A = this chain, B = another copy of it.
Amino acid sequence: MKSFRDPVHNLIVFQDEDQIVIDLINTKEMQRLRRIRQLGLGNIAYPGAEHSRFVHSLGVAHVMRRFLDTLREGRDPLTNRLQRDLQDHRSLALASALLHDIGHGPFSHALESVTHVRHERFTIGVVLSPHTEVHQVLEAAQTGLSQQVASVIERTFEPSRALVKLLSSQLDMDRVDYLLRDALMTGAGYGTFDVEWLLHAMRIGEVDGEPEVGLDLKKGQSIAEDYIMCRYYMYLHVYFHRTTRAAEVMVEKLLQRASEIHAVIPGFHALNALLEGRLRPDDEASLALYLQLDDGVLWTAMHMWTEHEDPILRDFSQRLLHRKLFRAVDVQSEQEAKKLMKKMEKKAIVYGVSTDYYAIYDTAASHAYHDPYIAPVGKNAAGMGDDHTHSSVGASESIYLFDEVGRPHELADSSFIVSAVRNRSVNAMRVLFPEEWSL
């Protein structure tokens, strides 16, 4: 038995029956997540939001365990089979919950703009590579478990579709933990919900023969609304925060520039491989390098680049280290954006700096068709939050409320609030340029 104290869940306990979680926590690949902040540069705007992907991963495994335990009480006879399938895969469920972010790099989505590889592919790499401790722990527990974890994370696991949904759907354990955690750590007051009631009202059900995670019709509607509103506010105020976005875009540009000019640093093998586009999730050597990347390596590179001969790399490094960020001005239309961009490009020319780097048009938006509620794509580029939406394979795009005979009711149909939120996207359109330039 192993217990952790946690600011979000207070007490996180894994009993002996869940020893695999403890063993996985002790792997070096999990420990690495301590050095990667969950919100990347989110602490720029919310100074308390400094939590790591490690503690979030613990939280997801914890919420998963809690839900499995409430199911054990067997309260819903309608879905006995689905529940039994879940219980049969308890270790798989917990391992997948813990490992779902294992392949994240530092400033994840900025990184992806250089690797051109989604972090999930590195997650799969870590799980399947015979050389990782994670893989070894999984296989030692049960032959073939690593392949199962990979397929849960890829949403292709068939023996328990419910398990797949518990980890990635509109109402999954990943989101439950990160919303609660990000809300607490940022201190953003409106972004929270009652996780006790949520777990109390959660149900496994079926929609057209496909297992889905949903909520009890009578008990669940208001908490579902509250959860959706929480997501909405977190995008509005935290994930798309003007200053944070400015910093993220600048890191992306910085990495692109470093790659472009081949700004390798002696001894920084992992970073150099990154900049040279040599990081591949399916290659053992490059996976090992990838796992050396963390927030500290990138910040250290920036320290060094403050003396680089390239003025752009030098300037961006200094601005990021000292938080002298670009100004981000909201625009309401493509047209307005173009106009302002033109103006800033002119200034760039006057000042003799690169228009590509000093006048930036940044958009972040939700795609309503991907996610009936809020499923931003921009956020994917932003390195925060909701990381599953880029690939819709097997993803559930709805939350269902199940009535007493198990009939599903789509949440947006029952709830005028969710219906109102669905028809709105959270959009951010901004033009970025140096703070010291006048408008």
Contacts and interface: CB of A to CB of B under 8 A. Distances in A.
Contact of A416 (B35, B58, B226, B420): B420
A295 B55 CA distance: 18
A5 B267 contact: no
Interface stretch (A6-14, A274-282, A367-375): A6-14
Contacts of A266: 266-267
Interface in A199-247: 200, 222-223, 225-226, 229, 233, 236-237
A257 B11 CA distance: 38
Contacts of A189: 5, 10, 193-194, 196-197, 223, 226
B43 A47 contact: no
A303 interface: yes
Contact of A194 (B10, B13, B75, B197): B10
Nearest to A195: B189
B10 A187 contact: yes
A34 to B, nearest CB: 6
Contact of A190 (B3, B51, B58, B226): B226
A356 B167 CA distance: 48
A4 interface: yes
A417 interface: yes
Nearest to A194: B189
Given A54-B47, A416-B420, A303 B292 contact: yes
Interface string A380-396: 00000000000000000
Given A47-B55, A222-B236, 15 more contacts: A1-B75, A3-B200, A4-B47, A6-B187, A7-B187, A47-B54, A48-B51, A189-B193, A222-B233, A225-B229, A229-B229, A296-B300, A417-B417, A417-B420, A420-B420
Interface in A16-75: 26, 28, 31-32, 34-35, 37, 43, 46-48, 50-52, 54-55, 58, 73, 75
Nearest to A219: B3
A436 to B, nearest CB: 13
A47 B186 CA distance: 17
Contacts of A323: 26, 28, 31, 34
Contact of A267 (B3, B31, B267): B267
In order of increasing CB-CB distance, the 6 nearest A-B pairs are A296-B296, A189-B194, A5-B187, A28-B322, A420-B420, A296-B299
A321 interface: yes
A1 B74 CA distance: 12
Listed residue (A5, A46, A75, A196) with the most chain B CB atoms within 10 angstroms of its CB = A5
A37 B419 CA distance: 37
B223 A190 contact: yes
Contact of A185 (B7, B222, B321): B7
B5 A188 contact: yes
A140 interface: no
14 contacts: A4-B46, A7-B7, A10-B196, A11-B197, A28-B322, A48-B55, A189-B194, A189-B226, A222-B233, A225-B229, A265-B267, A292-B303, A295-B296, A297-B299
A411 interface: no
A354 interface: no
Contacts of A187: 4-7, 10-11
A137 interface: no
A11 B200 contact: yes
